């Protein structure tokens, strides 16, 4: 059998094409971005996540020498931002800021929509973790989370707590405290965290979970107190504040929300890697670190695979809580 040997010129041309194809991802990575980048967020202007995102985009604009624009699309628990971005090209020029609840809780709460966030978006870069704090009115008789739990056991279904909406981290955190403590309480949903903390300060509700940014106004005005932080260990911003476990709550109780950047499904690995590397670099900036410290946000450096792993773990926990009370937003 005669073996075909291509002419030397043809072979060299084939080698050149192969080399160009191999180099294409590296070129795409090094060239990105060549035009403005839009980062959509479901969080409203002026919120903690929005404020930090704007600081991050300022740094990215300088690094990339291209405008990086924040596009606020709050509403419908995240579906407004989904509709604005899900059909955009998966080229890295459209990114979305999402929290862990939008990644895994919304599909469980809106089952009729048949929407799975992680089937529509690729995680690109991790940003930070947000701890939640058990908060009560300043004149509450409870001095610890243990007092709260004891009161709820003595009055089944009578103690109420607030959140910024059905299926919110504040609501699901309350459900988690119920399950871990063997108690039953009444959930009072509000339109947003501002309305919730106004009600808490006015003794309309007994307690609530909140973040430092969302509660600082009423906390600094001495209208609310903190009983415990829902983290495995104390946070450096408030070293004297015990964890929920230390304050008499369930020993394994933890409630936090992590925030990431994602892109419409199908983003090129090289572009995703470039964005992730540059975001990680920006997150180490002294100004960004200072802003995160103010909000008690904890930087997380997770790969896209780790983001998916963490999201699915949280989704399993939320699934149990949602099924237990048949919580739905359909």
Classify residue 198: in a domain, yes or no.
yes
Tokens representing 43? 């969080």
Classify residue 223: in a domain, yes or no.
yes
Tens digit of each residue's pLDDT (9 = 90 or more) over 207-266:
999 999 999 999 999 999 999 999 999 999 999 999 999 999 999 899 999 999 999 999
Residue 272: domain span: 34-129+258-325
What pLDDT, on a 0 to 100 scale, did the predictor assign at position 20? 45
What pLDDT, on a 0 to 100 scale, did the predictor assign at position 9? 52
**Torsion angle in degrees (nearest 10) through CA of 170, 171, 174, 175:** -140
Clarify whether residues 122 and 43 are in a common domain.
yes
The CATH number covering residue 187 comes to 3.40.190.10
Clarify whether residues 210 and 278 are in a common domain.
no
What pLDDT, on a 0 to 100 scale, did the predictor assign at position 197? 97
Q: Are 247 and 144 in contact (CB under 8 A)?
A: yes
Tokens representing 247? 């304050």
What pLDDT, on a 0 to 100 scale, did the predictor assign at position 24? 47
Spatial distance between the Cα atoms of 147 and 94, rounded to a whole number of angstroms: 48
Classify residue 249: in a domain, yes or no.
no
Q: For the chain, how many helices (H) and strands (E)?
A: 12, 11
Which residue ranges in the chain fall short of pLDDT 70? Answer: 1-30
Q: Are 130 and 211 in contact (CB under 8 A)?
A: yes
Q: Domain end: 209, 229, 249, which one?
A: 229
Clarify whether residues 178 and 111 are in a common domain.
no
What pLDDT, on a 0 to 100 scale, did the predictor assign at position 76? 84
- Total domain count, the chain: 2
The CATH number covering residue 284 comes to 3.40.190.150
What pLDDT, on a 0 to 100 scale, did the predictor assign at position 51? 94
Tokens representing 281? 């670099």
Spatial distance between the Cα atoms of 240 and 33, rounded to a whole number of angstroms: 45
What pLDDT, on a 0 to 100 scale, did the predictor assign at position 75? 87
What pLDDT, on a 0 to 100 scale, did the predictor assign at position 77? 80
Clarify whether residues 108 and 52 are in a common domain.
yes
pTM of structure: 0.87
Clarify whether residues 124 and 143 are in a common domain.
no
């Amino acid at each position: 059998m005669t073996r075909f040997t291509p002419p030397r010129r043809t072979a060299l041309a084939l080698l050149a094409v192969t080399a160009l194809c191999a180099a294409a991802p590296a070129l795409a990575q090094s060239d990105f971005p060549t035009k403005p980048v839009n980062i959509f967020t479901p969080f409203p202007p002026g919120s903690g996540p929005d404020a930090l995102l704007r600081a991050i985009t300022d740094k990215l604009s300088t690094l990339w020498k291209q405008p990086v624009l924040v596009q606020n699309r709050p509403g419908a628990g995240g579906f407004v931002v989904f509709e604005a971005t899900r059909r955009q090209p998966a080229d890295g020029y459209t990114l979305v800021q999402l929290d862990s609840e939008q990644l895994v809780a919304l599909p469980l709460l809106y089952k009729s929509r048949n929407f799975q966030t992680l089937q529509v978006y690729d995680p690109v870069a991790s940003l930070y973790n947000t701890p939640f704090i058990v908060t009560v009115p300043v004149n509450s008789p409870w001095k610890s989370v243990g007092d709260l739990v004891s009161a709820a056991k003595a009055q089944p279904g009578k103690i109420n707590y607030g959140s910024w909406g059905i299926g919110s981290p504040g609501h699901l955190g309350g459900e988690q405290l119920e399950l871990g403590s063997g108690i039953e309480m009444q959930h009072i949903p509000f339109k947003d965290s501002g309305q919730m903390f106004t009600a808490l300060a006015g003794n309309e509700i007994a307690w609530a979970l909140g973040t430092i940014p969302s509660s600082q106004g009423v906390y600094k005005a001495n209208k609310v107190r903190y009983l415990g932080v829902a983290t495995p260990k104390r946070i450096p911003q408030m070293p004297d504040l015990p964890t929920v476990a230390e304050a008499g709550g369930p020993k394994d109780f933890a409630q936090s929300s992590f925030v990431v950047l994602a892109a419409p499904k199908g983003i090129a690995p090289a572009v995703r890697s470039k964005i992730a590397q540059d975001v990680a670099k920006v997150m180490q900036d002294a100004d960004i670190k200072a802003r995160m410290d103010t909000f008690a946000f904890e930087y997380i450096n997770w790969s896209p695979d780790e983001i998916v792993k963490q999201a699915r773990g949280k989704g399993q926990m939320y699934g149990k809580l949602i099924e237990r009370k048949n919580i739905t937003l359909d």
